[in-house]
Structure 1
């Protein structure tokens, strides 16, 4: 007798994914589109078997619908049906007990990812690697100047793997972060820029 998986992946037409009525979570669709375009479709939506509604993945659903409307190429991770429609992988097998249970799960799946926060030192090290290794990927994270300033208040730049900046770099660190990446007048990326994680000057991609 074969084992029946309690959770499984099924590819369904994008147009068949029905959002939960009144879903309260907001989404940054353009950032989701950028992520899917760059990295492929990584995070499956989840469908409630009792209602047939999406309980996780509303934003990704909206992003895919917008991408298809714009005529974007098929993202990595999706399939195409015989009529050219996009087929999306979704997690199946879970059923809510009632509408209140479903609403709780919709909120909880989002709240749990927010609650733990970040380890500031590990995050700063990741950002330093990205800023010095691939500035375009770093930019795609869309960290605000305020967020970077808050992170720098919690991490000593001298302890990061990139090494200890000299005194002049440390003195100018706050100004560099407040200004973000140094840009020339025509908005082109400058030859030298300041890593927002550690304060080091570097040429993007070096």
Structure 2
């Protein structure tokens, strides 16, 4: 006899996703649309079985409705029903005990991930790798100047892989006949350089 999973995924019509009234979380719908369009639908909404309303995924619901109204293609991760409607993966199985608990969980699902913040050095290394490897992906993260300046105050760019110290070492190796790790792209490619968010050096994406 199989064991019933306490949490499971069901594909439900987008039109059946009922939002919780008065949800206080703001959403950047255009950024959510860009992420879904680029990477597919990755984060399932969560439903409250007691109320039949979602407690997580309000922004994703709004983004999908907007995408459908614009005639955009079906995102990866969704299905089509027989009538061409969009079917969305929904996490099922949880029930609130009271309306107050449901409201508390709505806040927690949004607040807890943001409360811890970021570990500065790994974040700086990720951003440096993205900026030098794929400028378009880096731009899609939409880090503000204020956020980047705050990161600069916490992380010494000299200590990062690809930072000035590392670059100087590779240049010294190149002068001695070694490989610097950077191809000579020529003058025509210099316009495609980007400024590394972590160390301030100019790099050509993909090199």
Question: How far 1:190 sits from its partner (Å)?
Answer: 3.9
The alignment's C-alpha RMSD in Å is 1.5
Report the equivalent of 1:63.
63
Q: What does 1:27-176 correspond to in 2, within 5 Å?
A: 27-164=27-164
Shift of 1:10: 0.2
Work out the CA distance in 2 between the residues paired with 1:70 and 1:128. 35
Could you tell me the TM-score, scaled by structure 1's length? 0.87
Cα distance in 2 between the residues matched to 1:117 and 1:193 = 26
Show structure 1 runs of 5+ residues with no match: 168-188
CA distance in 2, matches of 1:46, 1:92: 6
Q: Which has the higher Rg, Structure 1 or Structure 2?
A: 2
CA displacement 1:77-111 (0-9 Å, x = unmatched) = 00000000000000000000010000000001111
- In the alignment, the residues of structure 2 paired with residue 9 and residue 193 of structure 1 have an alpha-carbon distance, to the nearest angstrom, of 42
Counterpart Cα distance in 2 of 1:127 and 1:163: 12
TM-score w.r.t. structure 2 length?
0.86
Which digits, 9 at most, give the CA deviation of each residue in 1:50-101, with x for residues without a partner? 0000100000000000000000100000000000000000000000001000
Distance in 2, matches of 1:59 and 1:74, equals 17
